[in-house]
């Protein structure tokens, strides 16, 4: 799932916070595209310094998942420009994401951190002391393979539902719901993005009765039933 980090710098009593926002939290790029964009906005009253960091996610969704970072964009296969900038109050800035390598036969997964930088404290007197709250956004970047396949297996095991993604691209299961055998007492099931090769077990409140989700991949969204 997508994460929002709360980065807290404690200085003393008063509270201030950077009001940086982004226009999307998922960038899903088809194999024939080489670029994607996001917009960062400063809704606050003060200028804000912003830093962009990109991480390659190796073996996403598996127990061996790891993040890889490098100062060499060629090693990552992607570059974000600009990587550091200042936003005036009410200013917007477009960030261009450029993929440097052609798509491969499986998803390429990245995370991008959009992080307002803490300001240096200019005065140490108590009247100017602050608790500064900075909110950093972590975005999911997906580069799809040229021919992606939605393939999965589903098994009922011990009152739960196990989904194994046997295709070459990730999909999101969301808006899950299960009712009892009478079609009553319907319960929501938390969603999950399942990456290629990964498995996820959904705990079910009503044992063997049918479960329905919405399945999303790229621009395609449809209902599925297990």
Give pLDDT, residue 207. 85
Q: At 106, which CATH number?
A: 2.60.40.10
**Range from 37-41, 138-142, 158-162, 212-216 carrying the lowest mean pLDDT:** 158-162
**Range from 3-12, 111-120, 138-147, 159-168 carrying the lowest mean pLDDT:** 3-12
> For residue 214, what are its two tokens?
């919405």
Give pLDDT, residue 119. 75
Domain count, the chain: 2
Identify whether residues 59 and 85 lie together within a single domain: yes
Identify whether residues 180 and 139 lie together within a single domain: no
Helix boundaries (H) for the chain: 73-76
Average pLDDT, the chain: 88
Domain closes at, from 143, 168, 201:
143
For residue 12, pLDDT beyond 60: no
SS3 category, 60: coil
Give pLDDT, residue 103. 92
What residues does 167 pair with on adjacent strands? none
108 closest CA partner among 142, 146, 74 = 142
Please list, in sequence order, all residues whose beta carbon lies within 8 angstroms of the beta carbon of residue 159, skipping any fewer than 6 positions away.
203, 204, 207
Domain closes at, from 120, 143, 166:
143
Q: 193-208: per-residue pLDDT in tens?
A: 999 999 999 999 998 8
For residue 48, pLDDT beyond 70: yes
For residue 9, pLDDT beyond 50: no
For residue 15, pLDDT beyond 50: no
pLDDT category, 13, cuts 50, 70, 90?
very low
Phi, psi (5° rounding) for residue 20?
Answer: -100, 140
Q: How many other β-carbons are positioned within 10 Å of the β-carbon of residue 160? A: 13
Give pLDDT, residue 18. 61
Identify whether residues 15 and 111 lie together within a single domain: yes
From CA 174, how far away is CA 94, in angstroms rounded?
Answer: 30
For residue 3, pLDDT beyond 60: no
Q: 102-154: per-residue pLDDT in tens?
A: 999 999 999 999 999 987 654 444 545 556 667 889 999 999 999 988 999 99
Give pLDDT, residue 151. 95
Give pLDDT, residue 129. 57
Q: Which residue segment(s) compose the domain that 188 sits in?
A: 152-225
């Amino acid at each position: 799932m997508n994460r929002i980090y709360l980065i807290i710098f404690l200085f003393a009593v008063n509270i201030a916070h950077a009001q940086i926002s982004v226009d999307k939290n998922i960038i899903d790029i088809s194999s024939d595209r080489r670029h994607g964009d996001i917009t960062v906005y400063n809704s606050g009253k003060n200028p804000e310094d912003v830093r962009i960091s990109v991480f390659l996610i190796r073996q996403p969704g598996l127990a061996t998942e790891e993040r890889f970072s490098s100062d060499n964009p060629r090693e990552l296969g992607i570059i974000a420009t600009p990587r550091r900038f200042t936003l005036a109050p009410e200013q917007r800035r477009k960030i261009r994401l450029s993929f440097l390598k052609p798509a491969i036969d499986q998803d390429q997964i990245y995370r991008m951190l959009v992080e307002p930088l803490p300001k240096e404290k200019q005065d140490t007197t108590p009247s100017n002391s602050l608790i500064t709250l900075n909110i950093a956004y972590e975005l999911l970047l997906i580069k799809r393979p040229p021919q992606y396949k939605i393939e999965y297996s589903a098994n009922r095991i011990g009152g739960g539902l196990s989904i194994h993604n046997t295709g070459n691209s990730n999909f999101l299961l969301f808006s899950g719901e299960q009712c009892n055998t009478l079609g009553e007492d319907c319960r929501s099931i938390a969603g999950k993005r399942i990456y290629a090769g990964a498995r996820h077990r959904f705990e079910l409140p009503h044992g063997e009765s049918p479960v329905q989700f919405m399945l999303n991949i790229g621009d395609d969204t449809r209902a599925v039933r297990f």
